[in-house]
């Protein structure tokens, strides 16, 4: 299921999380059995996911992923890796750049090392959450190319959740549509045709730090 697009400007990630939480609650009702698992994509997805998890009474944790950027354009994601999973590449982007997945071997190695660092930094000695048989909601603050979300969802799908949901306040329409084969449900409050970047749809889109993420999970 994909929600109809609308255009919204969010004050900040906290407001976006409160609004997104209501949409998620409508799709993930409480029922007997394992409590839902809300997994934030750090860093930006964490404050959004906090609101979602509180609203639906879910366990809150992280799913770690790293973008693989285009040569000379590191913010343009052509691929991504999640946790200990294999790299996932966007075939259309590779074709547009005239490159192959193998051209990114060195970048993948570097990003995997950074991913391991972030796992240690954010999770410490805690094991990765077990999604088996649970409703799992992956949350980010926005969806641009969608490749990082695809990597995270693919990794989670291999761990047999009962249902896999992706939720974000704002999404590029093409990226939102591209998740249909990766998640059972995609929840996107706004999918503006004029989308250029996630931050364009927030009044306050300040950069978050590792310390911001650690503070949320300090008592987990």
Instruction: Kindly report the pTM of this predicted structure.
Output: 0.92
pLDDT tens digit at each of 220 positions of the chain = 444 445 789 999 999 999 999 999 999 987 777 899 999 999 999 999 999 999 999 999 999 999 999 888 887 889 999 998 999 998 888 999 999 999 999 999 999 999 999 999 998 888 888 999 999 999 999 999 899 999 999 999 999 999 999 999 999 999 999 998 999 999 999 999 999 999 999 999 999 999 999 999 875 5
Strands (E), 87-195: 88-89, 135-139, 163-170, 185-190
Structure tokens, 70 = 């285009």
User: What domains sit in the chain, N to C, each tagged with a CATH number?
Assistant: 13-64+124-217 (3.40.50.2020)
């Amino acid at each position: 299921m994909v929600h109809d697009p609308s255009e919204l400007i969010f004050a900040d990630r906290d407001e976006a999380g409160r609004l997104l939480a209501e949409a998620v609650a409508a799709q993930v009702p409480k029922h007997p059995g394992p409590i839902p698992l809300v997994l934030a994509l750090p860093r930006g997805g964490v404050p959004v996911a906090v609101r979602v998890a509180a609203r639906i009474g879910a366990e809150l944790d992280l799913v770690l992923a790293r973008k693989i950027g285009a040569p000379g354009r590191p913010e343009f994601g052509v691929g991504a890796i999640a946790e200990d999973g294999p790299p996932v590449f966007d075939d259309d982007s590779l074709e547009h750049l005239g490159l192959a997945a193998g051209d990114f071997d060195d970048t993948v190695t570097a990003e995997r090392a950074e991913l391991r660092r972030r796992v240690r930094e954010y999770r410490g000695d805690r094991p990765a959450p077990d999604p088996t048989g649970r409703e799992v909601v992956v949350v980010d603050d926005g969806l641009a190319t969608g490749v990082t979300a695809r990597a995270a969802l693919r990794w989670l799908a291999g761990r047999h959740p009962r249902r896999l949901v992706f939720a974000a306040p704002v999404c590029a329409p093409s990226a939102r549509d591209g998740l249909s084969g990766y998640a059972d449900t995609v929840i996107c409050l706004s999918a503006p045709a004029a989308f250029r970047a996630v931050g364009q749809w927030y009044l306050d889109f300040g950069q978050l730090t590792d310390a911001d993420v650690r503070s949320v999970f300090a008592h987990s």
